[in-house]
Structure 1
Amino acid sequence: MSTSGIVGPVDMMDPGLLSDPFRGYSRIREQAPITRAVFAGASTPIWLVTRYDDVKTVLGDHRFVNNPANVPGTDAHNIREELIEARGVPREYAKYVLDSVLDADGADHIRLRRLVSRAFTARRVAELRPRVERITEDLLDRLPGLAEDGVADLIEGFAYPLPITVICELVGIPEEDRPQWRDWGRALVSLRPGALNEPLSRMVEHIHDLFERRRARPGDDLLTGLIRAHDEDGDRLSDTEMVTMVLTLVLAGHETTAHLIGNGTAALLTHPDQLAALRADPALAPRAVHELMRWCGPVQATRIRYAAEDVEFGETLVRRGEPVMAVLVSANYDPRRFDDPDRLDITREPDGRREVHVGFGHGMHYCLGAALARQEGEVAFQALTRRFPGLRLAVPPEDLERQLLPASWRLARLPVRLGG
């Protein structure tokens, strides 16, 4: 195996890599297309795949599976299970974050995805647009009132409330419960041992309560649909799968979109030429969302996959059962696929529907809510630039505070001045 200058495995918690994954993973990509990496708390190193074509192979090839139990003829280590155990999560709750639609393969994945996919079709998302626009306008109406000394936090005041309101309405989470979900989501990204236990147990209890309420009073929402699938045919959806599906949809449905809006707004405000282009032509919004997902997307790497058989990447052999992580950020900055990849250019994509980047993934596990996330991003960026023509950062760009998490890119807050 050739590692072309990399000494030892990559530490996924390296402060330099966490603070600048764009340059960090690009350096790794150019030194070696595939290399070893380690997570604190995991007994087994993983392979990092960093180049665009190789990343698409890992994401779209049947030779890679999400569940190590589906690797034939070997007892592959479940790295995510080890990491969850290292964070002190009891086994009775770990199953709710380890056995979701995101972790399933083959027929199980298809079965679970079909139960909710109708809610995220292009047609259904298009029907939601007027409601997304109304929520957006209402939030922006309130934003000036949240400012202190002329400064508002766009993350708390806009980027989070928009997607969590949309996904909670779609799933069927009552309005009075939504602030609690925001707090739970914040707690779940903590790396402190034991920090997940209380929020996870409370979420599970809350979801069970929601199901009981919906059984008594059905609605036009995903909760009701899941209850119907479970009660009519328990083989289609188990009790644990039902709870896990709600947990996954609500958290995945607002966390990543919130940080797409936050990261994207910060990028536009630090690239005045791109901001001016979007203001001059709001129809560029679909292409802008694609480029912002490529240039500063919130998800930097995928969940760990496992080789179901021996697979060669150039001179490197990944053996059956070995864990592999596809690095989206290095693929999206790969000069073999993108001209001048470090440059932010909201006209880069030839049209708003054609997707070249891998910010939403690729293959069977392509993001279920991608169409909804794109739409929320389009509406958010168009409304922000229209409503607040004087919008600007309230701190120097280098002072923006980020949550330094592996495989993630997110702002802790985004202080802005709305104008004037």
Structure 2
Amino acid sequence: MTVNLFDPELMADPFTAFNRLREQGPVVEAAFPGVPGPIWLVTRYDDVKTVLGDRRFVNNSAHVPGMDVGNIREKLIEARGIPADYAQYVLDSVLDADGDDHIRLRRLVSRAFTVRRVSELRPRVEEITERLLDGLPDEVDLIEHFAYPLPITVICELVGIPEEERPLWRDWGRALVSMTPGAMAEPLRRMVASIQDLIERRREEPGGDLLSGLIRAHDEDGDRLTDTEMVTMVLTLVLAGHETTAHLIGNGTAALLTHPDQLDLLRADPGLMPVAVHELMRWCGPVHGTRVRYAAEDVELGGQTVRRGEAVMAMLVSANYDPRRFDDPDRLDVTRESDGRREVHVGFGYGLHYCLGAALARQEGEVAIGALLRRFPRLALAVPAEKLEREFMPASWRLARLPVLLNP
């Protein structure tokens, strides 16, 4: 049986569906409707880490030697109405690069996301968090008024997006990840134009932000960063730097409010928050599947051979619930110990493409959820848990709204 990744039942309860698929086999055939060719879903923890960490799997189908392999993401972009001259800004990012190109692009921005630099940002993250909480009414949608504004403010300040333009970026970002046909084209045009205009302004008045650093790298040595790569890098950092973090905060808060025993543990010992955020990322992380990758040669996974040129998708959700790696994986446990300083779950990926902003996302999750619990000790859902609305997107887990009562 071929799994339809757009199946409404699968998107409504991916945990049950992927638990079942994982136990059926380590590699399962799937398809995107309208996109030719199968995709192999890799479901088990050890095999997922192999796909994420093994150089025999590449992000760019053009890097499969000796074969002309169609790019599945390119077909998906076409189906969503992105003009060909703008597709490069979505398809050619650091997230899609391989080998030396990936290393070159990652090095240009990695210093901004080291543990030390992220730690230095913490007071500012705390200040933004407290200001947002100060302005919330007693009944509020936390997604709209807290979970989104916090990370978009932080990443825009880091990159150098002016304050007055940030609401536009938030709207554009939502449209760009929308599943509505044709909804992506115009926001993408506007984002690219905005970045190009901002680059010119930063050339005239450089600052201490990340964009000013990218401009210096480009102007001093064009071989390090092209015009298109600079625009794509800003686009990628802003979108990736707030969308998933917003839904980590939203999913994590909802999980705690529906598991009062775990909520009580965190209230009694706020020092558990770093471990709790790791557990929330494992248990209800917003990203359930990676970008499509391609086997550059025949590779055996779980006793099955994935042939050269075939597409694979590493399913983080099934890996993070794999009983071969996690005891009682269906149980949310905010005291679940990580393996020393090494991350055990794969919610942020693994290997060369491990999430560049993972340290910042974890910090924002710790600060945001910790402040919510401290400021509002009676925080509660404003609707029954079964009434919470989700955005149905393949390989994602996102709340459309999170209505809560701050002081019921």
TM-score surpassing 0.5? Answer: yes
The alignment's C-alpha RMSD in Å is: 0.9
Deviation at 1:349, TM superposition (A): 2.1
- 1:155 paired with 2:149, answer no
- Structure 1 position 32 matched with structure 2 position 25: yes
> Aligned ranges for residues 12-27 of structure 1 at < 5 Å?
12-27=5-20
Q: 8 Å contact 2:338–2:344 — kept in the other structure?
A: no
Contact 1:390 1:418 in 2 (8 A): yes
Alpha-carbon distance change, 353 to 135 in structure 1, aligned in 2, over 3 angstroms: farther
Which of the residues 172, 183, 197 maps onto 1:209?
197
Stretches of structure 2 lacking an aligned partner (at least 5 in a row): none
- Aligned partner of 2:175 in structure 1 is 187
* Correspondence for 2:368: 380
The equivalent of 1:92 in structure 2 is: 85
In structure 1, the residue matched to 2:269 is: 281
Indicate how the Cα distance of structure 1 residues 350 and 93 shifts in structure 2: closer, same or farther if over 3 A, else same: closer
CA deviation profile, 1:8-54 (whole Å, cap 9, x unmatched): 21000111110011111110000111011000231111000000000
Distance 1:353 1:401 in 2: 35
CA-to-partner distance for each residue in 1:51-83, whole Å, 9 max, x for gaps?
000000000011101111111111111000001
Instruction: Give the aligned length.
Output: 408
Distance in 1, matches of 2:322 and 2:360, equals 27
Corresponding residue for residue 128 of structure 2: 135
Q: Is the 8 A contact 1:297 1:409 kept in 2?
A: yes
Give the distance between the partners of 2:277 and 2:298, measured in 1 at CA. 37
**Aligned-partner Cα distance in 2 for 1:386–1:367:** 29
Which residues of 2 match residues 294-313 of structure 1 at below 5 A?
A: 294-313=282-301
Instruction: Give the TM-score taking structure 2 as reference length.
Output: 0.99
Tell me the secondary structure at the aligned position of residue 143 of structure 1: coil
Match of 1:349 among 332, 337, 359: 337
Identity of aligned residues (%): 78
User: Is the 8 Å Cα contact of residues 290 and 352 (structure 1) preserved in structure 2?
Assistant: no
Distance 1:310 1:33 in 2: 16
Instruction: Give the equivalent residue in structure 2 for 1:3.
Output: none
Distance (Å, rounded) in 1 between the aligned partners of 2:327 and 2:309: 35
Q: Per the alignment, do residues 198 and 350 of structure 1 end up closer, same or farther by CA in structure 2, a change over 3 Å counting?
A: closer
TM-score between both structures, scaled by the size of structure 1: 0.96
Pair 1:68 & 2:56 matched: no
Shift of the alpha carbon at 1:193? 2.2
Report if aligned partners of 2:47, 2:302 keep a CA contact under 8 Å in 1.
no
Report the residue type matching 2:377 in the other structure.
P
Q: What runs of 5+ residues in structure 1 fail to find an aligned partner?
A: 1-7, 145-149
Contact 1:44 1:77 in 2 (8 A): no
Name the residue aligned to 1:370: 358
Structure 2 Cα separation of the partners of residues 314 and 406 of structure 1? 24
One-letter amino acid of the counterpart of residue 119, structure 1:
A
What residue is the counterpart of 1:238 in the other structure?
226
| Alignment-mate amino acid for residue 383 of structure 1 | A
1:411 aligns with 2:399: yes
Over 4 Å off, 4+ runs: none
1:224-282 C-alpha deviation (Å, 9 max, x unpaired): 00101111111110000000000000000000000000000000000001111111111
1:104 aligns with 2:97: yes
CA contact (8 A) 1:287 1:352 kept: no
Could you tell me how far apart the structure 2 residues matched to 1:143 and 1:198 are? 32
The alpha-carbon deviation at position 178 of structure 1 amounts to: 0.4
List aligned pairs for 1:109-120, cutoff 5 A.
Answer: 109-120=102-113
Could you say what secondary structure the match of 1:306 adopts? strand
Structure 2 Cα separation of the partners of residues 103 and 418 of structure 1: 41
